[in-house]
Amino acid sequence: SGIGFQAFSDNTGAGGIKTRRYSGLYAYEARLSKFVVGRAGFSAGMVQRSIDYTGFTFADQIARGNSSVSTESLVGASVKYLDLSSGILLYGKNFWGGFSAVHINRPNQSLLNGFSPLPPEFLLHGGYRFEVGDHTTIDQKNDNNNTLMIAGNYKKQGKFNQMDVGVYYTKLIVTGK
């Protein structure tokens, strides 16, 4: 088992949109067979988002000769919410694959006391490592001499989809003995 704590802070744009997140993490690993290990994890976080409208310039300010004060009655707004995530990974010597779900409780992130649920994000990821070339000429004990890895990650959140695929080649070069 493993436990962790994560702190995240982000200040975005001139409007002062701030996001703070503090999360507790838990992970557990178990050997499922001689060749397969399973790992599962869970995250529970408290998120605070806020906005400071004093950094914005509104149309009425421009219309009144670049006035420093707006006639808009906007005050700074903030929201706090619980955000839950979970995932599982299976792996062995040459393969890995897993599934993760983020924002599984669909927290309301509205800064204006409305309803704006954060859609869940689902990720499916995996890969395989192939040994290539003649491994006996370099080092029989080293299983990373020449490898070709193929990895992929599919992500879906709301109506958006993303697919990332990568191919990696590793070559061990031994110099002088």
pLDDT in tens, 57-110: 777 778 777 776 666 666 667 889 999 999 999 999 999 999 999 999 999 988
pLDDT of residue 114: 81
Give residue 78's pLDDT: 85
**pLDDT tens across 143-168, in order?**
557 899 999 999 999 999 999 999 99
Q: CA dihedral defined by 127, 133, 136, 142, rounded to 10 degrees?
A: -30
Element (H, E) at 80: strand 77-91
To the nearest whole percent, how much of the chain has pLDDT over 90?
59
pLDDT computed for residue 117 by the predictor? 92
